[in-house]
Amino acid sequence: MKLKILLPTQIFLEARVQKINAEGRNGAFGLLPRHRDFLTTLTSGILNYRTKSGEEHHVAVMEGSLVKKGDEVFVSTRKAVEAPDLESLNEIVEKDFKEIQEKEKKMRSATAQIEAGFIRRFLEFQENA
């Protein structure tokens, strides 16, 4: 199979693989070359793949989608990180992904404050009209 991991601004990875393991919203699953065409959403977690030479690789993905069509598997995600072993990957994920999630939390909070201020001013405008 040909695995292609896509980020919003670039192609993160292209590899020929024998097997893929990932985690979707309904649980973990594996894909082999003769697996039926498949579409699912991915949760933030580890995607494992084995190359034709038998090497195991680990990629952390931050949510996304996976599409298997014929011999090709496309993973689309906001962020992906690859490391030589699971321990290193865990350290990177702990730092990077949590940092991103905190920033998103702050942005949502700021957006909610802006919306609340807009509604408050709109109601004040209506009362004075």
pLDDT tens digits for range 12-60:
999 999 999 999 988 999 999 999 999 999 988 889 999 989 999 999 9
> Average pLDDT, whole number, for the chain?
89
pTM: 0.72
Domains (range + CATH), the chain: 2-128 (2.60.15.10)
What does the alpha-carbon distance between residue 103 and residue 55 come to, in Å, rounded to a whole number? 35
* 93 CA to centre of own chain: 12
- pLDDT at residue 67 in the model: 96
Query: How many residues would you count in the chain?
Result: 129
63 closest CA partner among 43, 93, 49, 39: 43
| Residue 98: pLDDT over 90 | no
- pLDDT at residue 117 in the model: 86
What does the alpha-carbon distance between residue 86 and residue 75 come to, in Å, rounded to a whole number? 20
